Structure formats: C-alpha cells, structure tokens
Amino acid sequence: PATSMEELVSLCKRRGFIFQGSEIYGGLQGFYDYGPLGVELKNNIKAAWWRTNVYERDDMEGLDASIIMHRLVLRHSGHEATFSDPMVDNRKTKKRYRLDHLVKDQKADVQARVAEGMGENVENFPALVAALVKQPARASGALIAAGVRDPFSGEVGDWTEPKPFNMMFKTTIGPTADEDSYGYLRPETAQGIFTNFKNVVDSTSRRLPFGIAQIGKAFRNEITPRNFIFRVRELEQMEIEFFCAPGTDEEWHQHWLDARLAWWEAQGVPREKIQILDVPKEDLAHYSKRTYDLMYDYPTLGHEEIEGIANRSDYDLGSHTKAQGELGLVAKVDENTDSIAKLTIPHPETNKPVVPFVIEPSAGVDRAMLAVLSEAFTKETLENGSERIVLKLRPHLAPIKVAVIPLARNREEITAVARAIKADLQKLGLGRVLYEDSGNIGKAYRRHDEVGTPYCVTVDFDTVGKGEDASLTDTVTVRDRDTLAQERVKISELAGWIQGRLR
C-alpha cells in the first residue's frame, strides 16, 4: 500500500489518473478532473458497485435522478436549515476555515488551551467543537487566547465568532431572476431517491423490503477542501436507500454493514484497514437512529470516513410526505404543506399503509478511488536490484486490461498481427485493450506496471515466423503484471486464456 498521499498524487498526475480542475487558469480549489486512466478506474469502481448492489440482488432498483432540484426538496429534507458547517474567519488574513478542521490542525497544547477556555475536556474532540459552536461569543476569545494559528500564515489569528455556513450550491433557473426562481445542486444523491419513491413503487410493484440505488454527482461548497480528492466540492456518491418495515430496521442495518464490508474487501480494500465507528448518540445527525461510519486508514490522513451506513428511521419519507399527521411517524419531522404525494407502502404483514424505515449505505466514489489506489500501490525491489512501482489493482478495476505491444513498430507484418489481436480482445467486452507502440518494450512494461495493466501481450518476430524458433509461429508472449512471469500462448487460444484470468 501507499505510505504517503504525495506518492499517490504524483503517480495520478504523471500517469493521467487525476488532474487539478481548470489547471491552465491556475486551478480551482476542490475540483478535480479524471484523466484517461482515471475515468476508466472510476467507471470500473461504479460498475462493480452497481453489479453487486443492483444486478446480483433481487430486492433493488436503479435510478438516475436530476442534479438540480426544486428548492422545496432541500427545504423539507432539512438541508436548508441544517446542512452547514461552522466556520471562523481570521480578521488578519481574511482567510476562512472550518472550525473543526482548524482546531484539529493545532498542536495538542493549543487544543488543550482552547478546551480550557471553553471549560471542556479535550479528550473528547467532538464535544469541544460542539461547545465552540454553542457558545460562539466565548469561542472567539478562547481561540485567540489559546494562540490558535492560521494554517495559511502560520501566525496566531484574530478569530471571529463561529458561524454556520450552508454548503449547498444555489443556482438560478430560467431567464427571470425573481425571488423563487432558484434551485439547488443536490448535496447528496439521496433526495432524488426519496422524491421518486412513489414513482418507483408504482412502476415496479415493489413491496417491502426493497432498495433504490443511485450513482451520481453531488455538490458541497466545502469551506476547506483539501487532501487531494478526499474532500472536494464536486463529488460523486454511490448511495442506496433500503426501505423496510419498522422493527426490521436494526437487522437490515447489520445486513448492510456486513454486505458493504464484503464489497470493499472484493475491491482490494481489506477488512483490517477499515475501522467501524459506531457513532456515539450525541454526535448523530438529528434524523439518525444509529450510524456506522466506515473509517479507512488513508495514507498520511489516517482513519477517515469512506462510507456512512445510517439508520434514518422514517425521517426522510416522513418529511417529504403529505398528510404527516395521519401516518404515525416515529421521527420528529417539520410540517410539510407543500408535498402532493403520500409516501406510504403497504406493511408486509398488516397491509396497512406505512412510512417505511430507511437504511442508507452512502459511499463516495472519489474516496473509494483514493482507497483502491492506495491499497494497490506497491513498491518492489526486483531480483536484479532495480525498483518498480506496480499498481496491484484487482483485474476488474484495472483501467487497461491488456496492452498489445508490437516488438517493432515499423514492421508491417508484426503491427498488423498486433492490431488484429487488439481488435479481437477488445470484442470480449472486458474493458479497455490498448494497442501500445509508444516506446521500447522495457518502458512499456514499466508504464503498464505503474497503471496496473494485468497483462501485456507482445508480438515479435517469432510470432510471424521470422524468428529463430519456428515452433513459436502464431504464438505471443504474455507477461503477468504481478509475477512478471512470461508465457508463450497460441494466438488462437489467447482470448480464452485472458478471459479465464480476468474474470
């Protein structure tokens, strides 16, 4: 695995996985572009998630909802009021920080002095942040007195009171910019699932329990985007809302915890690199009955959230439904007089309409990519003493499945065979197969090790009957990324050989 974020960032740029967004104009913070290999890896991760969670189950439907949503969706979801992070400004540098990030970045003794100033126990970081938020007037003084430094200038800041900062991106819709003609870029994909609950139930005749899965972009105006693609402003999520009868929710919550850990393992992110955080009651979001955060051990960052698996009770559908008063909701919801739909489904036992409970496994594609890359990253010393970097990606995730390399790029008899092999392998539908004639063979091998190509197929003079050994005619060399073993395979058997190993 990678030992630092820097070595991943450098590999990603060098080999074309990830670039800074708008780079030729100086870059835009919190936005990244996925390059030729990044787009393949990302698509492969999403396809693996979809396969496991939609195709291989019989209790799931897919969805692709729009990104811009009605302002009332985000009002009744609770996002207008509560989707905010506390921020503080430094009056000296005019820089703005997320309060918890700022305090976390300070030295332990500074943190202790902040806690002292607030009269809180520093052992419990969330409690300290909560205290700072709850007593903003006192917080400003405590941060200054404790000598909290501005990470930008390195000097002690002149800190303002913490204020909530709503992270939703707003945009105007249509040609007239009147008061109500705005919508939001969704801050999570989940809301599109809740607003389509009735459409999906009516069009598929689903009964409880069942889920709706969605992959797509979400947007969060993070105060301090940082740590490469770990915290970005335009992100992608893979989310499931699994609807079940009240009373069966705890069992399903456990089911999804186990299922999701197994999926991560199958992507090469081992169980022992993920800590399960059973989020303490006092830190739970207001809608959550219980939440497990999966904390992956990222290089340089340490354990940070890669996926959240929440039991959201009947809060979401209860918030978006009409006739709330008649439905016996368990969650405390705000009044909704705007919705035109009753979001109920027959109870599997009584057949009476019920607002189901929801289990939500919500994973970030960008954070998945970082974890998958980090686990695959391997530095090896070879027998001859040289060092190589190799991405030991699971074959189903590899951006390029096979590279077909003609040993001489200006010999028509060799390139024609190589091109024909490429075209044949491409037809197998395994993903990208690359015709590779860009350099010498050693360089090609090194590049494909670094981008995780499982197999390199080389066409040489023996292949076309012009080498030393006539028995090698119509065979190619296949090189294995991990073992470095080279095997001679008949062209007629190559497709089956590759297919058997890439499954």
Closest to 486 (Cα-Cα) out of 461, 450, 455: 455
Question: Half-sphere exposure (CA, 13 Å, Cβ side) for 337?
Answer: 0
Q: In the numeric block, which tokens belong to residue 46?
A: 């999403």
User: Which listed range, 5-13, 90-98, 104-112, 362-370, lies at the site for ligand ATP (CB under 6 A)?
Assistant: 362-370
From the CB of 198, what's the least distance to ligand ATP, in Å? 24
Closest residue to ligand ATP: CB criterion: 364
Task: Determine the distance from the C-alpha atom of residue 323 to the mean position of all C-alpha atoms in its chain, rounded to a whole number.
Answer: 36
User: Which listed range, 130-138, 175-183, 205-213, 232-240, lies at the site for ligand ATP (CB under 6 A)?
Assistant: 232-240
From the CB of 10, what's the least distance to ligand ATP, in Å? 20
DSSP assignment of 436-499 equals --SS-HHHHHHHHHHHT-SEEEEE-TTTTT-SS-GGGTTEEEEEETTT--EEEEEHHHHHHHHH
Respond yes or no on whether the N-terminal peptide bond of residue 209 is cis (omega within 30° of 0). yes
Q: Residues 295-324 vs ligand ATP: string with x where CB under 6 A?
A: ----------xxxx----------------
Give the number of other Cβ atoms within 10 Å of residue 39's Cβ.
Answer: 16
Q: Which of 76, 98, 220, 260 contacts ligand ATP by CB under 6 A?
A: 220
Q: Which of 363, 371, 414, 425 contacts ligand ATP by CB under 6 A?
A: 363
Instruction: Using CB under 6 A, count the residues that bind ligand ATP.
Output: 16
Spatial separation of the C-alpha atoms in residues 499 and 401, rounded to whole Å: 10
Spatial separation of the C-alpha atoms in residues 409 and 439, rounded to whole Å: 9
Give the number of other Cβ atoms within 10 Å of residue 503's Cβ.
Answer: 8
Spatial separation of the C-alpha atoms in residues 213 and 464, rounded to whole Å: 50
Terminal-residue alpha carbon distance, the chain: 23
Q: Which of 186, 367, 422, 448 contacts ligand ATP by CB under 6 A?
A: 367
Using an 8 Å Cβ cutoff, are 218 and 74 in contact?
no
From the CB of 162, what's the least distance to ligand ATP, in Å? 17
User: Which listed range, 103-111, 126-134, 137-145, 356-364, lies at the site for ligand ATP (CB under 6 A)?
Assistant: 356-364
Q: Residues 187-206 vs ligand ATP: string with x where CB under 6 A?
A: -x------------------
Decide whether 33 or 482 has the Cβ nearer to ligand ATP. 33
Decide whether 139 or 306 has the Cβ nearer to ligand ATP. 306
Decide whether 11 or 306 has the Cβ nearer to ligand ATP. 306
Decide whether 364 or 406 has the Cβ nearer to ligand ATP. 364
Interface with ligand ATP includes 38 (CB under 6 A)? no
From the CB of 231, what's the least distance to ligand ATP, in Å? 4
Interface with ligand ATP includes 238 (CB under 6 A)? no
Decide whether 274 or 402 has the Cβ nearer to ligand ATP. 274
Encoded amino acid at 150, one letter:
D
Encoded amino acid at 240, one letter:
I
Binding positions for ligand ATP, rule: CB under 6 A = 188, 220, 222, 231-232, 235, 237, 305-308, 362-364, 366-367
